[in-house]
């Protein structure tokens, strides 16, 4: 049997697919009851999203040549026949639901008409007598009749819900069969894209359970759960996870302060920056200070190698409105959220936070400074006796070598995709990192080979502005004239120009811009500062506030002209999307809002734009 003509079979399937979406939308608007729990309404909408995403991954909304490329398997007649049958099955299920709904509405209308007709047959005297007779009945008769009416309505409602659940089960089965025809990579992309779809379409999502979206989307539910715990849903006022008004938990499950006595060979961290810089965030333009220890665990024979990231305690108390106990609760809350995020999915690419240390660090002048160190376990397969390396250190080693050791293109593409996916999921979960840079991406040496695997990155450097800070945020601070060799001034490379220009609340788009700079570094495999000409390097060191976009424009120009030949057009377009900014779609209920400023910086729909314009493009570039 000859394969079908490409133009005709795609046109036929596209017609069937669009018919399914239109019918689904019609059914959702008319037949699925609105409920206050994650039940039928949400589940029906989730299945509609799955169907739409399946079509997108099949290329039904793409140009013909792209659609043909994504549907090579449909050249097999048996698979083509199966897809056509499944889409027809979906259409028939939706038509049946629509017919059932029409009959249900007709029955309700008939019952109301019958009651109204009987009431019109009574004369005025008969109606008054009936009313007097009803008023004279005993109270228990009233209650009994009320219970009977309520019971009758409940039975009808129950029957309708049972029918809906049965049809939902059939729709899920068809979606599962369609999804089974996707590659593993495409199936993962469908589930990942579902997170942004839910956030984009569902403003008032109730409390989510792990099985709220079905067994195939447990990770999606975990991410949404984290978002709800982070209190950054679109319907709420945007705030950091540690709100001043947040009630204090007087009985934490366990004390997360790690005693110094449990850290073998502990020494005070050596802080490379002055106290004035530390108090502004331990150097808002300075790389993190990290130390490494072997930690004894109480009640266990074997300990664990850990990493500590240090920040100034004064950044938590300076101009703070809360007391010491509340600050302790915030630290506990941060540790708990980071731990839950680590457990939710390996795709978050973060380390397991297990507690924090309170101590003093030593300044260059010999004075002491109070610091807090958040403690993370090493990954299971890491070589414990080797200290991890940052992405900046790995690139510098290659860049400064006479014989640069540039990783394979496949590994760099996979690294880029995993970092973008991690940031996307973190944003969906309500996190905003604020300090994405090659200084805050760590690699551990493999325990067996002893080598650094660049495809296994970990995002570190978790540090917030003061949690009780309100208002528009702070402008980026720089150590004017600080030497780039010490890793100070070149931190400005990763900062969005808007935050250098003026005080502005930190947004997810600022994180995405920072990721774009890192992606450019990965493509060229050299520090971003090395991409700049001497004039731009000087502007970066001085953090030129008169023209903060000067470096950004130079980087965008370099990416647009040079990066495509090295890593391909998809990668180039993804990086440019990060650096230039993603065009957002407004949520239907917010269509009258014209600017992001009016939305208090919430940027509705940015997760969806980020996924399709960056994350999925890098997935296809990496062919994972």
Question: The CATH number of the domain where 273 resides is what?
Answer: 1.10.510.10
Give domain status of residue 292, yes or no. Answer: yes
- Domain closes at, from 163, 182, 201: 182
Which residues of the chain, if any, have pLDDT below 50?
1, 4, 6-7, 35-37, 115, 119-120, 148, 150-156, 232-252, 278-284, 465-488, 586-598
Q: Which of 554, 561, 603, 616 is nearest to 579 (CA)?
A: 554
Same domain, yes or no: 293 and 175? no
Q: What is the pLDDT, as a whole number, of residue 393? A: 94
CA distance 328 to 252: 11
pLDDT score recorded for residue 458: 98
Placement of tokens 């057009």 in the chain: 569
In a domain, 239, yes or no: no
**Beta carbons of 540 and 549 less than 8 angstroms apart:** no
Boundary (domain end) residue, out of 182, 211, 240: 182
pLDDT of residue 497: 86
Pull the structure tokens for residue 458.
């970990």
- 583 and 444 in a common domain: yes
Residues 176 and 299 in one domain: no
- pLDDT at residue 68, rounded to an integer: 54
Whether residue 568 sits in one domain with residue 444: yes
Q: Cα(257)–Cα(198) distance, rounded to whole angstroms?
A: 37
Q: Is residue 305 helix, strand or coil? A: strand
Residue 1 lies in a domain: no
Within a domain: residue 233?
A: no
Q: 312 has which bridge partners?
A: 371
Residue 57 lies in a domain: yes
409-428 vs 218-230: helix axis angle to the nearest 10?
50
Neighbours of 209 (CB within 10 A): 13
Residues 144 and 289 in one domain: no
Residue 606, both tokens: 């940015």
CA distance 339 to 344: 9
Is 425 a member of any domain? yes
Tell me which residue of 301, 295, 289 sits closest to 266, measured CA to CA: 295
Give how many domains the chain has, as a whole number.
Answer: 2
CA proximity to 603, closest of 615, 617, 593, 613? 593
Answer yes or no: is 224 within a domain: no
458 burial via Cβ count (<10 Å: 0-12, 13-18, 19+): buried
Phi, psi of 505 (to 5 degrees): -60, 140
Residue 231 in domain: no
Domain boundary among 157, 182, 207: 182
Q: Please tell me the number of Cα atoms within 13 Å of 215 on its side-chain side.
A: 4
pLDDT of residue 280: 41
Cβ-Cβ contacts under 8 Å for 592 (sequence gap 6 or more): none
Query: Domain containing 592: what range?
Result: 260-622
Cβ contacts of 305 within 8 Å, gap of 6 or more: 292, 293, 294, 295, 377, 378, 382, 384
Q: Are 15 and 109 contained in the same domain?
A: yes
Would you state the pLDDT for residue 491? 77
């Amino acid at each position: 049997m000859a394969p079908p003509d490409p133009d005709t079979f795609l046109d036929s399937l596209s017609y069937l697919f669009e018919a399914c979406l239109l019918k689904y939308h019609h059914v959702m608007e008319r037949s699925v009851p609105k409920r206050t729990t994650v039940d039928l309404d949400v589940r029906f909408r989730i299945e509609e999203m799955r169907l739409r995403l399946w079509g997108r991954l099949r290329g039904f909304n793409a140009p013909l040549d792209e659609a043909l490329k994504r549907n090579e398997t449909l050249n097999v007649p048996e698979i083509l026949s199966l897809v056509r049958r499944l889409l027809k099955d979906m259409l028939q299920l939706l038509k049946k639901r629509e017919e059932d709904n029409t009959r249900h509405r007709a029955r309700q209308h008939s019952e109301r008409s019958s009651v109204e007709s009987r009431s019109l047959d009574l004369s005025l005297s008969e109606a008054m007598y009936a009313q007097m007779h009803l008023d004279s009945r005993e109270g228990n008769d009233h209650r009994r009749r009320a219970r009977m009416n309520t019971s009758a309505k409940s039975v009808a409602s129950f029957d309708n819900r049972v029918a809906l659940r049965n049809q939902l089960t059939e729709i899920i089965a068809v979606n599962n069969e369609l999804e089974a025809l996707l590659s593993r990579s495409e199936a993962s992309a469908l589930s990942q894209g579902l997170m942004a779809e839910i956030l984009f379409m569902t403003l008032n999502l109730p409390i989510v359970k792990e099985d709220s979206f079905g067994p195939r989307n447990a990770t999606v539910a975990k991410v949404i759960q984290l978002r709800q715990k982070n209190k950054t849903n679109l319907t709420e006022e945007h705030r950091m996870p540690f709100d001043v008004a947040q009630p204090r938990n007087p009985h934490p499950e366990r004390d997360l302060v790690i005693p110094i006595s449990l850290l073998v060979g502990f020494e005070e961290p050596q802080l490379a920056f002055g106290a004035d810089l530390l108090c502004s965030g331990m150097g808002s333009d300075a790389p993190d200070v990290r130390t490494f220890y072997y930690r004894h665990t109480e009640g266990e024979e074997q300990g664990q190698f850990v990493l500590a990231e240090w920040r100034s305690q004064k950044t938590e108390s300076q101009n703070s409105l809360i007391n010491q106990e509340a600050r302790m609760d915030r630290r506990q809350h941060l540790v708990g959220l980071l731990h839950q995020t680590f457990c939710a999915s390996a795709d978050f690419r973060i380390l397991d936070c297990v507690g924090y240390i309170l101590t003093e660090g030593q300044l260059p002048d010999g004075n002491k400074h109070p610091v807090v160190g958040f403690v993370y376990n090493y990954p299971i397969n890491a070589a414990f006796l080797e200290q991890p390396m940052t992405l900046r250190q790995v690139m510098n080693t290659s860049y400064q070598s006479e014989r640069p050791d540039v990783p394979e293109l496949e590994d760099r593409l996979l690294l880029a995709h995993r970092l973008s996916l991690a940031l996307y999921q973190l944003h969906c979960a309500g996190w905003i990192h604020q300090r994405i840079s090659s200084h805050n991406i760590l690699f551990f040496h493999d325990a067996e080979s002893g080598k650094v695997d660049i495809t296994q990155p970990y995002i570190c450097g978790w540090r917030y502005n003061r949690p009780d800070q309100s208002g528009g945020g702070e402008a980026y601070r720089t150590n004017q004239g600080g030497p780039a060799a010490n890793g100070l001034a070149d931190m400005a490379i990763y900062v969005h120009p808007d935050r250098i220009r003026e005080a502005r609340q930190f947004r997810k788009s600022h994180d995405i811009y920072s990721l774009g700079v890192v992606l450019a570094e990965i493509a060229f495999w050299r520090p971003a500062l090395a991409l700049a000409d001497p004039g731009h390097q000087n502007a970066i060191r001085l953090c030129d506030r008169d023209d903060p976009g000067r470096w950004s424009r130079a980087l965008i120009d370099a990416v647009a002209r040079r990066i495509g030949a090295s890593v391909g057009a998809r990668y180039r377009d993804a990086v440019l999307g990060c650096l230039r900014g993603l065009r957002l779609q407004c949520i239907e209920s917010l269509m009258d809002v014209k600017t992001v400023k009016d939305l208090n910086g919430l940027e509705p729909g940015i997760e969806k734009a980020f996924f399709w314009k960056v994350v999925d493009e890098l997935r296809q570039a990496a062919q994972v």
